[in-house]
Structures are given as C-alpha cells and as structure tokens.
Structure 1
Amino acid sequence: MRVIVTPLHLTTHLTEMVPLCWALRAAGHEVLVVGAPDLAGVSRAAGLNIATVGEPVNMIESGAPYMPRELFPAEALGRRDTEAGRELWRQCAAAFAPEAGQLVDAYLALSASWRPDLVITDSMSLLGWAFGAAAGVPAVLYHCGVAPLLGPFEEQAQLLLEPLRKRLGLPRLPAAAAVLDPCPPSLQAEDAPPGHRVRYVPYNQAGVLPDWALHRDGAPLVCVSFGSILAWSGPRPLRAALDAVAALDGVEVVVTLSAANRELLGAVPEHFRLVEALPLNLFLERCDLIVHHGGTGTGLTAAALGVPQVVLPQWGNGFDFGRRLTEAGAGRSVTDRAGQDDTDALAGVLRTVLHDPAFRGSALRLRAEIEALPSPAATVTLLEELARGTARC
C-alpha cells in the first residue's frame, strides 16, 4: 500500500503523526509525507521520505506580525458560544483557506504521479480537506490532538472553500472515509468529529538522555515548556509561569526552550535548568508537574506519561485542552490574563496540583485510558481495509 500523509504546515503536527507513519512502514507499506519545505528536516529526522510542495511557510514566524501581543491569552477562543469567540475561530479558518486554492493542483499533480492507495491528512488542514476529497482514493482525517472544528471554524471554512469545491467538481469537503482520533475521550472536545480511537504515542523528535534526568535527589521536579507560542505571544506567559514556579520552595525546575526564546527570557534563578532541543518524552515521566501553554503535543505527552499539568492557554485549542484536563482532574487551567499574571495566585495553583495526590491519581488514570486504546500498529489493519474498499466506517 502506498500512503500520502499531509500534515498542517507545523512541525508539531507532523511529529504527532510520526508513530502512525512508523507503524505503516513497519507493516511494509510505503509512506510519503507531502508538505511545505519547512517539514523536510523533521520528516527526514523521523526516517520518513518527503516531497515538498510550494514555498517555505513557517506559520509561526509569518503569523507573528498579525498577532498583537495584547491578544494573549486569546480568551475568546475558549468560548465558541460567544460572538467574540466565534469570530476568532472564523479568522483561524480564513488564515488556512488561501493555500488550499493555491496548492491543491500541485498536490493533485504529485499524487497522480506517485499514485497512492490512501491519503491521511491533518483534520485542521483545509488544503488537506480539498486534496483528500479530490485525490481519487480513500481519505482519512487525522485529529492532531484536541479538535474543536465544528461550529464557527467549519462553517467559515465551508463558505471559503465553496468556490474551490465547485472548481474541483466535488460534492462536499471534506470527504473522509474515516477519522482517526489519538486524543483520549476524557480530553477530546465534545464537538470534535467522531473517529476511530488510536493510542497517542509521544514523539517529540530525538535527543540524548542527559545524566541529570537519571539522578534525582528526591526534590519534586517541575517542568516548564511553552513551545513555539512565544513567537506570537512574546515572553510574558513564560515569564509569568517562571515567576510563579520560583515562588515554590524545595523544587527542581527544568525549562525547555529554543535558543531564540532564551534570548527573550532574560534572567532566571540560578537553580533553574535551561535545556534546548531536548524531547519532552525523554525525561518528562520523571517530573512531578508540567506547566505549559496548552499545546496538545505537550499536553498529550504529559497525559500519556501520567504527569499532572497546569495549563496557561494562549491560543487555539489550548483552551479546550485545559478545560477538559481540569474536568478529568489531572490538572488545572488558568485561562485569563489576570489569573496568569497574578504570581501569588498562580503559585498557589501550582502548589495545589503538585502536592495534592488526587491530581497524580487522576493523571495516572488518564495514562491508563490512553494505554488501553488501540496502538498505531493495530490501526494499520483499518487503513489496509479502507484501501481495499472493505472497511465499513
């Protein structure tokens, strides 16, 4: 079987799909990642072939000038039942729609030459919606984490893609033969399109296990990780988290960040350990708490490893992730700027989640829920049946 995989043009979305790609390769199938040149390095590092289409995108850097710092946290995104929230989700759809019309023909030309038997596309990629529906083979949508895609996002996307749908002669977008969902039921948004559950396997790229991760002195270990969101939000959310963590007594602290974000950060306490390019799944299981921005790659990695979390959501589906995590009892979410900027109050939230064993218990139950789901390897059979036209979805 020959499979084309099309992520959204964010490296974190590709890394979430890598374990499924590995499972397909291990079963003897050919896999070709198709995407922007930005994904080439991550794809090759994961041992996956890639065909690049179009120009470099770098969605984080290119979007930074359009993301005013006062927007963060974008609290309205946590409320899709308000007009402000609906408008922000419409804007998200509007940001993704243009490339669908610009690149779908190039994707289809590549597909006609490579001749896949199946297409797997990121469910947030409107380009993927169009390509998957027009490729002439079964198309599978893959939820990269929490997927609050119904309501205003999909309504606006359908409206903006209507001219393209007509040009391609398609009855509807997307036209999925199946949906794969690696987000456990306890954390998935209630209105996410239903799908076949698949176990989330943490992959945050590869790294070298540091000695400090092997030798703990007994003090609680707190991880702070804010991913690439700082290019949009600026350092304020991370600074707020670090100030609150600094107010905790008797803890070790590890902060993951890029070299660029290190320059933004300024001074930090001497006992904070700053690490660059170190995969979370390499050391996070040894942590007692993680504080992060609600990115579902970060959050699902913590959930899969049974680590309690405090979420300071800034954008997108981070608000849904934080809300569902709180409901599951595996952590807390502080959604408003006032709460995130109140160092004393935030430190109190951290102490509660760190020291109350109920949060660890809920986090371990969440881990068990994830481990009980079908593995990526078990999911390959479904994909094989879809390619043969025998699956009933």
Structure 2
Amino acid sequence: MSSAVPLSEIAADAPVLRDFGGGPFGVYVHVPFCATRCGYCDFNTYTAGELGSSASPQSWLAALRGELAAAADRFAGLPSATPEVSTVFVGGGTPSLLGGDGLADVLDAVRSAFVLAPDAEVTTESNPESTSPEFFDRIRAAGYTRVSLGMQSAARHVLAVLDRTHTPGRAVAAAREARAAGFEHVNLDLIYGTPGERDADLDASLDAVLDAGVDHVSAYSLIVEDGTALARKVRRGELPAPDDDVLAARYERIDTRLAAAGLTWYEVSNWAANDSARCRHNLGYWDGGDWLGAGPGAHSHLGGVRWWNVKHPARYAERVARGGLPAAGWESLTDDERYLERVMLTVRLRTGLPLTALAPTATPAVNRIIADGLATRSDTHLVLTDRGRLLADGVVRTLLT
C-alpha cells in the first residue's frame, strides 16, 4: 500500500492490475464547479470566486481530455484488453454549469479515449436552475440517456437551511422538460431530516416528486459533515443536529409513499419504477465493479487497485500537462479490505448479499441478525428486512465483527 507514489509510476504490467477486465467498466467524470457553496456539502467543489484565474471550465476540459487519453494509453499496455465503457456518470459539483455544449464536449472526450457500448448508460447530474428545455434537447442529442436533478426539498425554508439556490417548483419543471426532451430515465434527489423540516414539508416534497412522473428517486438523510458551514452552525447551537428517530420515521414515510406509487427500493437510498430505471453506474460501485474516475479529486478502482487524483483544478491541470495520470496516491486493496467493502456495499441492495461472499466465521453474526429481525436468509442470499434497512450500518458492523 502507498499514499505517495502515483499510479503512473507503476510498471504497465504490474501484478496488481492483472485482474482488470472481464466485467462492466464505468467512467466517472468529476466537474468541480459550483455557482455557490451549499452549507451541507463537503464535496471537492469550487466557486468562481474561490478559483479566481487559476482554473476555468476551459482549462479543466483540456486537462480532462489529456487524462482520459493518458488512461487509455495506460490500459492498452495491460494483459487484458480494455472493455467497452458500459456506463458514464458526470457528477460534481454542478455539471449543468457547463451548458449543453460543454456537456457534449465532455462526452466527446470520453468517446475519443474509449469505446462506448451500444447500450451505454450516460448520466449527468444537474442543478435545476442551470437547465432549460434547450439544455435538455442538446444533451439528449449528444448521447446522454439519464438525468439526475438535485431537488432536496419542495419547502423554501428547508432549501434555505441547506443553502440551496433553486426555487421550489423548479426541480419538477426541469424533470418535465427532461422528459419532454426524450429522457426516459430521470431521477430526483431528496434530502430529509433537515433542521426545521416538518412532516408536512416532506409530504409536499413527495407530492411534487410523484407529480413530476420521474422513474427514479434517491433520498438521503442529512449528514452533518465536519468542516461544512452546517457543521459550524450545529456546533454553535444555531441549528439542532438531525434526530435519529426522526430520520427513521421520515425514511419509512418516504418508502411507503414511493412504494404505493410503484417505485420499489433496490438500494437502501434508491427507488426505481422498474429494472431499466435503476442507475447501472451506481450499481457498478455497489457490486464492486471497475471504474475510471477522471477530474480533480476523482477516485478510480481497477482490478483491486484504487487511486485518487489531486484535488485542486489548477494542480490537476498541471499534473496532466506533465504527462501521465494525475494521481495523488494509490493503494492495492488487501483481501480483507475487499471483503469489508463487498459486505458494506452489497448488503444494502435489495438482491442482498450472497452467502458465498461471507466468511465461514460470519455464520453466528448472520444468525443473530436474522434472529433480531434485521434480515432474512434464502438459499443463496442474506436480504435486509424493512427494519434492517433502517439499521443497515449496524448490520454491517455485526457481520464484520
């Protein structure tokens, strides 16, 4: 394991990379730009004021093309051929700030370096305020197949606590515009448990989501991340910390409403109208797949090796300009680490955790989890119950002790 040597210094035939290939391969592109900084967000993002003249969307795109080309050259020297790209996910940050033409350029950069599968899923995240009918028409024509819109809440005062800049109602309007542009798969993101949020506020948000007619919903409990403006307000006593009992009740409320509308959970925080509506890219993460992360601060995982890029857009561009991959550090996962991640991620899926993936020593823990009503066991899988979904992190801890 190393946290200093960049992946570009590892020999092209390094044994740690020989497991790469044979399964789905995704590409994640990180767009680090935001118009404003949300108080709860700890992602690697920057406003124009924070960057000044050190970086721009144009310099970032040029560096992205360079990184993708370098990665393609790097993979070409591996024993196994680079598979077709089955999923692309453009996240951030706020990718929609690039505009329709900018996002078309991003996808063109991926296509220039790799071969996209004919049925590739291509997703972009978008802030509703930086979208329009013309935007959706442009990215649909460019080859995007899926849009994920950050809604968070339909309540103005909840959005204010989160420092979200979009107006209530705009997310629903954007979802309708995306569907009108030909997007079959549209996701709306919700955050629940924000200080000051009432049951009525959540109900209004769910009403709006269902009225939008989307085929996918993601709902996440508010997490107070260290170093954020929200964390500072909670620490000073200006806002209360999210209450675990309230979060559990809100989750059950969300699940009940979405299930009644025909949206079924397939991962603890994600619901889809049918199998084709599920986010294949994220399923690749949860199933332990391979992906290349491109852009400042992006993480990659290939054949048991994980690496992460330098974070600042200016430093990222400088590293790419010098040649090779802009990795800040890397690690070769041990068998124990891969086992931990398999349990931690796969148990959250509706399909459950294969019993064959568990170590024999986990049998007593499995029996306790089932006895406590947190999971059921079929001939092949351990599957969380409704109560188990609320306590998924505890289930993981039990399985790993």
TM-score in terms of structure 1 length = 0.28
Name the one with the larger strand percent: 2
Q: Which has the higher contact order (CA 8 A, sep 6+)?
A: 2
Q: Which has the higher helix share?
A: 1
